[in-house]
Chain A
Amino acid sequence: MDAVEKANTERQQRWVKDQKVGEGTYAVVYRGREASTGRKVAIKKIKVGQFKDGLDMSAIREVKYLRELRHQNVIELLDVFSSKTNLNLVLEFLESELEVIIKDRNLVFLPADIKSWMAMMFRGLEFCHRNFVLHRDLKPNNLLIASDGQLKIADFGLARDFADPGYKMTCQVITRWYRPPELLYGSRYYSSAVDIWSVGCIFAELMLRIPYLPGESDMDQLKTIFRALGTPTEDDWPGHTKLPDYVPVGSFPKTPLRDLFTAASADALNLLNKCFIYEPRKRISARDALHHPYFFALPYPTHPSKLPKCTTQLSARPLEEMDGNVQMNSTGPGVKANNNRLKRKLSSPLDEGKGRSIARRLDFTKISPGT
């Protein structure tokens, strides 16, 4: 046997799959453990054999970035190995996810709890951005919670490096409810500010306990945003009417956040406002957010181990992120689920359909910077 294959087999034998905990079209997740120590892990098995183009993009992105990023608030990729036609990612085992906690009606959130989650979220995100990685799919069910209460940013299947100035990126990213207006208007040049908008939406959701801006379609998403935050003027956001998919969607007045977030502190609302600044260049950065007075004012953040925890164990984490990223004909978030509630799902068949052909056209005509 080749040395490389042998090394792969040895890696494989370090990990034991115990129980299937979730299944999607392209991946199965197992709960497992490290054979030598018994440490609990999650093993995500991606069935590569089904892709005609070999290893698929979301698996490659996830492996590429998680291999490099080591941070308390980013999920840890412990190992990667292949078995026959499958790729296996060994991830640290995480008990719960923020979405489940938000929905658990038995739990009461104190302002200090929310502050703690926000601090961990911004720390993880600041680390990604410092490493020039855009996450592009932040939402409560991609924020996992460890048994010690630490919040971990997960699912890097849509992540990418910052593009150089002048290089286009696809705007078909981020689950709709968490998608910033510049992407809804088709901006192809964007920045870490897109992730900050998502964090703002999550911040609001932690306070409201329901999604803050649940649009039913891309068009309705813009309306929902403007109804909540006011239609941007040319002063608020210079040049936005020139964006590729700009459409006027009506003029709504700005209502103060205070009207909806009645219990929030002034600092909290100030930070929230800064996450929702329409002009992306003025939106607060993760780094500046960490220095915002909100985090230094009383009450101080709850210690992670003391945060509200789920009353029910997370048994089967849905694998919708895999479906959403790779399915050619995925139905998207506008589809109502059986219970007539909107599902959080990535709306666009990113890169595989429209996105990919655009990307290809780009790559083939672009010349390297400086020439």
Chain B
Amino acid sequence: MSLDSKPISSDKKPLYEASTQFINWRYSVEQLARIRASLNEAAVSAIRHTFESDEPGSSSNVLFLNSVEEQLLVKLYITKITQLCALFRFPEEVEATAVTYLKRFYLKNTVMDWHPKNVMLTALFLATKTTNNPISLETYTTHIPKTVASDILDLEFLVAQSLGFEFAVWHAHRALWGIWLDIQNLPDNSSSVSPDIYDSALKHVRASRLTDAELIYTPSQIAFAAMALAAPELASAWSHLKIAPKDSELLFPSFQDLTDAIKALIISDGQPPNIESVREVDRRLRLCKNPEKVPGTKAYLAKKAEEEKKAEGRRNKKAAISQQAMTDGDPFGNDLSKAQSALVDYDDDDDDD
């Protein structure tokens, strides 16, 4: 399915451009840096506040993570997805989707609030379902050490919300497969295309998953860059066939720049992170993670108590409303204005299950 490799001269909008990925999940390099920096900043100040209200002065010695360090940790857990997918023998689609989910999650959250270990496990489990490769949660957790069902289920809504419930992902490896099918049909080199070329290009696509490429470029752009790394001449022959001559003059300089940028990104960022430096980050994370999210701590208990208090308040209010309805109301229901206010009580909707 070479969805992305449609000739650009077509006047219909490509299907990809109607996707949630195209509309909601593309960024510039600068935007990515800005989003991550501001998430990091907000988390640091909130956690610092929690520390201080627990014990004044206690945050001054804490060395919080910066956004680059956060990314390093996320990258490590991307490599864990690959390992788990090999263990379960999941198809490539599952792996690629889980990696995308993990990256998108950390464009809405920080590792100081949510440790990537559990988020990764939940993202992968969710990806098995969204790609139509479901396995039971029991099978899943029994094959992963020190993991129970609630580790996954507790975060499933949070992950799904962070993804905006947009589960469909367009992948570079699919685009590469399309390009590869096309290349085998190129005139002049029918017999000479070695399957090694595809394998080599696929390795580059896989390396690109460790980078921000998919948040910046389209799947077909990444796939083309991977093919250009593996077999520059074939890639260029293919692109000349795909891009009509009249467009090529207009497009080629920027097309070349784009491809070069992706190639450079894959080469520079496409390796697993250095384990020692990640270990250091993780060690520090233990000291600076949000105590409100760590069961048992004072801050956690305080937050739970506060939530419970709020919920009780709502329950009391609701009880009072129904009490009033019994005493002063028409037995067939209150007047409309009162009924309306009860309808906007959002806790209501969960009482009927």
List A residues at the B interface (Cβ < 8 Å).
Answer: 2-5, 7-8, 12-13, 16-18, 20, 28, 30, 35, 45, 47-49, 52-55, 57, 60-61, 63-65, 67-68, 70, 80-88, 130-132, 160-162, 164, 351, 356, 359-360, 363-366, 368-371
Instruction: Tell which of B89, B149, B168 touches A67, judged by Cβ atoms closer than 8 Å.
Output: B168
Q: Which of B157-194 contact A (CB under 8 A)?
A: 157-158, 160-162, 165-168, 173, 177, 180
Query: Would you list the 4 A-B pairs with minimal beta carbon distance, nearest first?
Result: A80-B165, A64-B167, A368-B92, A364-B89
A164 and B157 alpha carbons, distance in the complex (Å): 30
Instruction: Tell which of B20, B109, B166, B198 touches A2, judged by Cβ atoms closer than 8 Å.
Output: B109
In the complex, chain A residues whose CB is within 8 Å of the CB of B132: 57, 61, 160-161, 359
Of the A-B pairs whose beta carbons lie under 8 Å apart in the complex, a sample of 10, sorted by A's number, is A3-B42, A4-B158, A17-B343, A17-B348, A57-B129, A64-B130, A86-B353, A132-B1, A364-B90, A368-B91
In the complex, chain A residues whose CB is within 8 Å of the CB of B91: 363, 366, 368
Instruction: Tell which of B42, B137, B161 touches A52, judged by Cβ atoms closer than 8 Å.
Output: B137
Instruction: Answer whether residue B19 sits at the interface, using C-beta atoms and an 8 A cutoff.
Output: yes
Question: By the criterion CB–CB under 8 Å, are B343 and A54 in contact?
Answer: no
Question: By the criterion CB–CB under 8 Å, are A371 and B20 in contact?
Answer: no
Question: By the criterion CB–CB under 8 Å, are B350 and A86 in contact?
Answer: yes
Instruction: Tell which of A53, A83, A130 touches B346, judged by Cβ atoms closer than 8 Å.
Output: A83
Given A17-B349, A86-B349, residue A369 in contact with residue B161 (CB < 8 A)? no
CB of A259 to closest CB in B, whole Å: 42
Instruction: Answer whether residue B226 sits at the interface, using C-beta atoms and an 8 A cutoff.
Output: no
A83 and B343 alpha carbons, distance in the complex (Å): 15
A57 and B161 alpha carbons, distance in the complex (Å): 17
Instruction: Answer whether residue B237 sits at the interface, using C-beta atoms and an 8 A cutoff.
Output: no
CB of A355 to closest CB in B, whole Å: 10
Question: By the criterion CB–CB under 8 Å, are A53 and B344 in contact?
Answer: no
Question: By the criterion CB–CB under 8 Å, are B198 and A60 in contact?
Answer: no
Given A54-B125, A82-B160, residue A60 in contact with residue B167 (CB < 8 A)? yes
Question: By the criterion CB–CB under 8 Å, are A49 and B349 in contact?
Answer: no
Instruction: Tell which of A2, A53, A80 touches B113, judged by Cβ atoms closer than 8 Å.
Output: A2
CB of A13 to closest CB in B, whole Å: 7
Instruction: Answer whether residue B250 sits at the interface, using C-beta atoms and an 8 A cutoff.
Output: no
CB of A125 to closest CB in B, whole Å: 16
Question: By the criterion CB–CB under 8 Å, are B20 and A67 in contact?
Answer: yes
A156 and B15 alpha carbons, distance in the complex (Å): 19
In the complex, chain A residues whose CB is within 8 Å of the CB of B15: 130-131
User: Would you call the interface of chain A mostly helix, strand, loop, or mixed?
Assistant: mixed
A67 and B24 alpha carbons, distance in the complex (Å): 12
Question: By the criterion CB–CB under 8 Å, are A57 and B346 in contact?
Answer: no
CB of B116 to closest CB in A, whole Å: 15
Question: By the criterion CB–CB under 8 Å, are B137 and A68 in contact?
Answer: no
In the complex, chain B residues whose CB is within 8 Å of the CB of A47: 353
Given A17-B349, A67-B166, A368-B92, residue A54 in contact with residue B161 (CB < 8 A)? no
Question: By the criterion CB–CB under 8 Å, are B130 and A45 in contact?
Answer: no
A54 and B198 alpha carbons, distance in the complex (Å): 37
Question: By the criterion CB–CB under 8 Å, are A63 and B165 in contact?
Answer: yes
- Which of A60, A80, A85, A88: most chain B Cβ within 10 A? A60
Instruction: Answer whether residue B315 sits at the interface, using C-beta atoms and an 8 A cutoff.
Output: no
Question: By the criterion CB–CB under 8 Å, are B353 and A49 in contact?
Answer: yes
How would residues 58 to 73 of chain B score, 1 for a CB under 8 Å from any chain A CB and 0 otherwise?
0000000000000000
A368 and B152 alpha carbons, distance in the complex (Å): 27
In the complex, chain B residues whose CB is within 8 Å of the CB of A368: 91-92, 173
Instruction: Answer whether residue B135 sits at the interface, using C-beta atoms and an 8 A cutoff.
Output: yes
CB of A239 to closest CB in B, whole Å: 25
Given A3-B109, A363-B94, 16 more contacts at CB 8 Å?
A3-B42, A4-B161, A5-B158, A28-B352, A53-B134, A54-B152, A60-B130, A64-B168, A67-B168, A68-B20, A84-B350, A132-B1, A132-B3, A351-B134, A359-B133, A370-B180
CB of A41 to closest CB in B, whole Å: 14
Question: By the criterion CB–CB under 8 Å, are B167 and A5 in contact?
Answer: no
User: Which chain B residue has the least Cβ–Cβ distance from A362?
Assistant: B133
Question: By the criterion CB–CB under 8 Å, are B168 and A18 in contact?
Answer: no
In the complex, chain A residues whose CB is within 8 Å of the CB of B198: 370
Given A57-B134, A356-B134, residue A363 in contact with residue B89 (CB < 8 A)? yes
In the complex, chain B residues whose CB is within 8 Å of the CB of A131: 15
Given A53-B136, A83-B346, A131-B15, residue A370 in contact with residue B165 (CB < 8 A)? no
A252 and B39 alpha carbons, distance in the complex (Å): 70
How would residues 83 to 121 of chain B score, 1 for a CB under 8 Å from any chain A CB and 0 otherwise?
000001111101000000000000011000100000000
Given A16-B343, A54-B153, A67-B167, residue A5 in contact with residue B349 (CB < 8 A)? no
In the complex, chain B residues whose CB is within 8 Å of the CB of A4: 108-109, 158, 161-162
A53 and B15 alpha carbons, distance in the complex (Å): 32
In the complex, chain A residues whose CB is within 8 Å of the CB of B149: 52
How would residues 1 to 38 of chain B score, 1 for a CB under 8 Å from any chain A CB and 0 otherwise?
10100000000000100111000000000000000000
Question: By the criterion CB–CB under 8 Å, are A55 and B168 in contact?
Answer: no
A110 and B175 alpha carbons, distance in the complex (Å): 47
Question: By the criterion CB–CB under 8 Å, are A54 and B137 in contact?
Answer: yes
In the complex, chain A residues whose CB is within 8 Å of the CB of B1: 132, 162, 164
Question: By the criterion CB–CB under 8 Å, are B165 and A67 in contact?
Answer: yes
In the complex, chain A residues whose CB is within 8 Å of the CB of B173: 368
- Which of B3, B158, B167: most chain A Cβ within 10 A? B167
CB of A84 to closest CB in B, whole Å: 5
Instruction: Answer whether residue B202 sits at the interface, using C-beta atoms and an 8 A cutoff.
Output: yes
In the complex, chain B residues whose CB is within 8 Å of the CB of A45: 349
In the complex, chain A residues whose CB is within 8 Å of the CB of B42: 3
In the complex, chain A residues whose CB is within 8 Å of the CB of B285: none
User: Which chain B residue has the least Cβ–Cβ distance from A12?
Assistant: B346
In the complex, chain B residues whose CB is within 8 Å of the CB of A160: 132
A67 and B167 alpha carbons, distance in the complex (Å): 8
CB of A64 to closest CB in B, whole Å: 4
In the complex, chain A residues whose CB is within 8 Å of the CB of B135: 360
A162 and B132 alpha carbons, distance in the complex (Å): 11
User: Which chain B residue has the least Cβ–Cβ distance from A28?
Assistant: B352
Question: By the criterion CB–CB under 8 Å, are A54 and B156 in contact?
Answer: yes
CB of A333 to closest CB in B, whole Å: 24
User: Which chain A residue has the least Cβ–Cβ distance from B18?
Assistant: A70
User: Which chain A residue has the least Cβ–Cβ distance from B340?
Assistant: A16
Question: By the criterion CB–CB under 8 Å, are B129 and A55 in contact?
Answer: yes
A368 and B195 alpha carbons, distance in the complex (Å): 14
